[in-house]
């Protein structure tokens, strides 16, 4: 399995609070991605990175920001969490084939 | 036409049977195709890539039909452990990877 970890694995927070999810990889891969997965929608791309400090938006980027200061870490921040951001968040690496982390289950009350 | 479309199922199939499902894609310029497997509450995992000539991995066979713009996955001698959701993934050249919403498969004892 690709060396990808996500933290935290589970989080419950309240509306309006900031939340940061971390993705860490040991594969030294250039490309990293954040997805959310919701029933009826499948996997949707939030943001992705193609190198340190190089990031771009995906199809559902509103309300999210990302940072990548090191090759191995890709952070996803919800500046002010809303209930609509309750979801399962997956990090992935790869350019053609992608490999996923174990996911973070986020509940916003 | 949706970018990547799959029958959501569920397909309820007796153990030992053969099951097949298709996935259609809209972008004729798509270059790479994959099948992923996702178990309940787990991350998607790469099952197999789909090549123009088709490919086989044990009980699994994947095929690509560029003329009709679909890929298929055939599972022979199905096992209880094959129960999962199967995601079709299309990688258009120069654009972001697109995930289907998945087909649920239940293998019945």
List pLDDT tens digits, range A68-98: 999 999 999 999 999 999 999 999 999 888 9
What's residue A40's pLDDT?
A: 83
Chain B residues in contact with A98 by the CB 8 A cut-off are 46, 89, 97
**Minimal CA–CA distance to A75: which of A2, A7, A10, A4?**
A7
Test the B interface: residue of A97, A104, A105 with most B CBs within 10 Å? A97
What's residue B95's pLDDT?
A: 65
What's residue A2's pLDDT?
A: 65
A12-34 pLDDT tens trace: 999 999 999 999 999 999 999 99
Of A58, A97, A100, the CB nearest to B43: A100
CB of B9 within 8 Å of a chain A CB? The answer is no
Phi/psi at B10 (nearest 5 deg)?
A: -80, 150
What's residue A96's pLDDT?
A: 85
Q: Point out the residues of chain B with pLDDT beneath 70.
A: 1-2, 93-95
Write b or e for each residue in B26-38: b if 16 or more Cβ atoms lie within 10 A of its Cβ, otherwise e. ebeebebbbbbbb
Size of interface A-B (CB pairs under 8 A): 34
Chain A residues in contact with B5 by the CB 8 A cut-off are none
Of A58, A97, A99, the CB nearest to B96: A58
CB of B32 within 8 Å of a chain A CB? The answer is yes
Chain A residues in contact with B8 by the CB 8 A cut-off are none
A48-62 pLDDT tens trace: 999 999 999 999 999
Which tokens sit at A30?
Answer: 């250039």
Of B45, B91, B102, the CB nearest to A96: B91
Residue B81 carries which DSSP code?
G
**Minimal CA–CA distance to A3: which of A21, A26, A22, A23?**
A26
Contacts with B9 (C-beta within 8 Å, 6 or more apart), sequence order: B21, B103, B104, B105
What's residue A1's pLDDT?
A: 62
CA-nearest residue to A89 within chain B is: B43
């Amino acid at each position: 399995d690709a060396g990808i970890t996500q933290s935290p694995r589970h989080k419950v927070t309240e509306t309006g609070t900031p939340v940061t999810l971390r993705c860490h990889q040991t594969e030294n891969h250039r490309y990293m991605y954040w997805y959310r997965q919701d029933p009826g929608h499948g996997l949707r791309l939030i943001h992705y990175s193609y190198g340190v400090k190089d990031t771009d938006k995906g199809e559902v980027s509103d309300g999210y920001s990302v940072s990548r200061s090191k090759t191995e870490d890709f952070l996803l921040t919800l500046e002010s969490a809303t209930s609509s951001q309750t979801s399962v968040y997956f990090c992935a690496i790869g350019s053609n084939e992608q490999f996923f982390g174990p996911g973070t289950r986020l509940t916003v009350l | 036409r949706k970018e990547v479309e799959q029958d959501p199922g569920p397909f309820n199939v007796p153990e030992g049977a053969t099951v097949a499902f298709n996935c259609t894609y809209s972008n004729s310029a798509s270059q790479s195709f994959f099948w992923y497997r996702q178990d309940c509450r787990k991350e998607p995992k790469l099952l197999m890539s789909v090549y123009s000539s088709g490919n086989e991995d044990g009980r699994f066979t994947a095929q690509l039909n560029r003329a009709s713009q679909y890929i298929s996955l055939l599972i022979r001698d199905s096992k209880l452990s094959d129960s999962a959701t199967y995601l079709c993934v299309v990688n258009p050249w120069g654009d972001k990877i697109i995930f289907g919403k998945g087909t649920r498969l239940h293998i019945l004892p």
